[in-house]
Amino acid sequence: MGSPESPFGMLAELTYRCPLACAYCSNPLNLADYADELTTDEWRRVLAEAADLGILQCHLSGGEPLLRRDLVDIVANAHEFGLYTNLVTSAVGLSRPRAEQLRAAGLDHVQISIQADEPATSDRIAGTPSFERKIEAMSVVKELGWPLTVNVVLHRNNIDRVANILALAEEVGADRLELANTQYYGWAWRNRAALLPSRAQLEAAEAVVRAARERLRDRMEVIYILPDYYSRYPKPCMGGWASRQLTVTPSGDVLPCPAAGPLPLPRASVREETLERIWTESPVMTAFRGTDWMPEPCRSCARREVDFGGCRCQAFLLTGDAARTDPVCHLSPDHDLVADAVRTANVDSRAGALPLVPRPHRAEGANRRTATAVPRRR
């Protein structure tokens, strides 16, 4: 295999600290392992290497990136290196003064998550009162002239409210609405039985979204991401493993996708190697790149360069072997693992009432070392 093309985007997970406790969070279960966060200077070097590698977009995420006191400096560095920056945030902590600082630093886009269309449901799912602050932050984003994406993770507990969620997105003036059915990694994997919607719920929601897309096509882009448990074929793994994007975790590990941390692959860190060398040579990037690694039935499948065998992280979670065909695929020898979960979601009327296990809060002071090399900002 020749040298890979340059990645298009980088997800910079600045911290896993977060004021919310969402039960569908895809961040790792072992949050304490990521407490030794990269410093401001380390992130500046990573951003410079990302630009040299040919990366165009930098998505600043977490956890909650606003908990980094040096976020404005990180944005300014990314802007200096010519990266298009997108802040992926709960908006808890996005005050007008902070927003104005980020605007001046060159932040290009803001994506705000919300859990439902009204305070009680949204706050219950988020695990903390946050709805009103999110709405206020959306108003600030629009007033400062940023493009606004509203992201809502859908699941059994809120998917029946999708029409109201669409109305809320219209009301706040969102330029883009992402209705993303839960992907079952991290805390969402623990809560799958209580989160996986029924087929009837999905069909009803899809009809609402389809009508809204037609009505809003000139005003707001509506993205609807299906849960692949209900698909005949799996989703392509990030457009192909280590093909278009990479993730840098708070402590500097580099992964081909945000969920790949638990896979039994050699570690690669920006504290030990350059981003370019990691991208081109490290085992974590080369393990499932391309199609040579594929087992049957993927190896001889006409779709092998369409879905790339599906999601390696999902295959690992479901079977214990990251090299197996994604069990979502109806051709997979392990497909019953997914089919059984779907059957349960469609016959157990109690599933929506099952208790959710919230992600534990990690407060501002939970990291073991100082994550910033600049003074506190007030």
Pick from 52, 87, 62, 82: nearest CA to 72: 87
Residues in CB range of 277: below 8 A, 6 or more apart: none
Return the structure tokens found at 172: 């706040």
Residue 369: DSSP 8-state: S
Beta bridge partners of 310: none
Under 8 Å between Cβ of 39 and 371: yes
Q: Are 248 and 11 in contact (CB under 8 A)?
A: yes
Residue 22 annotated in ligand binding: yes
User: Do 237 and 312 meet the contact criterion of CB atoms below 8 Å apart?
Assistant: yes
- Could you tell me the maximum CA-CA distance found in the chain, to the nearest angstrom? 59
Q: What is the DSSP string of 275-344?
A: HHHHHHH-HHHHTTSSSTT--TTTTT-TTTTTTTTS-HHHHHHHHS-TTSPPTTSTTSTTTHHHHHHHHH
Q: Is 298 annotated as a binding residue?
A: no
The answer to whether the annotation marks 257 as part of a ligand binding site is no
Q: Give dist(CA 354, CA 364) in Å, integer.
A: 31
Whether the link from the prior residue into 63 is cis, omega within 30° of 0, is: yes
Across the beta sheet with 148-154, the strand order is 221-225, 176-181, 148-154, 109-113, 84-89, 57-61, 9-13, 245-248, 254-255
**Separation of alpha carbons 161 and 118, rounded Å:** 10
Q: Which residue has the tokens 């330029």?
A: 175
User: Residues annotated in the binding site, as ranges?
Assistant: 18, 22, 25
Residues annotated as binding site for [4Fe-4S] cluster? Answer: 18, 22, 25
